[in-house]
Amino acid sequence: MSAKIGEKAPNFGVSEWVQGAPTNFDQEKDHIVLLEVFQVNCPGCFMNAIPEAIKIYNKYKDEGVRVLGLATAFEDFDKNTLDNLKMLAETGEVIGETKDALSSYGQLEEGNKLSFKIPFPLAMDNLTKTSGEISQEKIMEFIYPQIPEFDSQPDEYKNQIIERVKGYMKSKEYSAETFEKFALQGTPSMIIVDRKGILRDVSFGQLGHVDAMIQKLLKED
């Protein structure tokens, strides 16, 4: 089941919880849930998105807002791993491009460790080793959420997009359940579900609208 804004949110995929008690959208009735989806090897996630999620957590944790973190992987599968997520949760140590970027901005403590602690639950997305078979149906499921008017485009353009997506899918070692179910475009991404379990927002990058959206949802019955 793929996710659609305005409809009941499907549960996100989890292979393992590394911090906090296990939960999911269907277990968070009467809570607004903000799911921050990131990759361990993603500088922008740690410079902007996760600090913003921590601010939301601190501001609204006593008002029925739950913030959760989900590490996923759609590239750099050797770095975006469960082991590196566990190391992050247990020691605050970061790796790869995240380490290089934060270090160059003087934002790391000794031992390549974050200067802040992530206070909310953290889990790893459910990754499945991909098989060689890429069906036309899978390709179209990937394209439509990102190009809704795809069918009305010229044939040459459509063929180019199909070939590009096919190449991308062939290059992927793993398929990430949450990343695909919510048709995410990259990381960081934020998924917001209201108190009734309805999917209200899926956004890529940090758009600065999150606080206002949480306030709006808190006012709803």
Q: Is the pLDDT of residue 221 over 80?
A: no
Tell me if the bond preceding 188 is cis, omega within 30° of 0. Answer: yes
Let me know if 56 is exposed, middle or buried by CB neighbors in 10 A (0-12, 13-18, 19+): buried
- Here the tokens at position 190 are 């934020």
Question: Is 34:67 a contact under the CB 8 Å cutoff?
Answer: yes
Average pLDDT of span 155-169: 86
C-beta neighbour count of 174 within 10 angstroms? 18
CA nearest neighbour of 20 among 151, 117, 147, 106: 117
Contacts of the segment 53-59: beta carbons below 8 A, 24+ positions apart: 53/120, 53/190, 54/116, 54/118, 54/119, 54/120, 55/211, 56/210, 56/211, 56/214, 57/119, 57/120, 58/119, 59/211
| CATH 2.60.120.10, domain 16-126+182-219, yes or no | no
- What residue spans define the domains of the chain? 16-126+182-219, 131-171
What's the pLDDT band for 206 if we cut at 50, 70, 90? low
pLDDT at 132: 64
Chain-wide mean pLDDT for the chain? 92
pLDDT at 144: 87
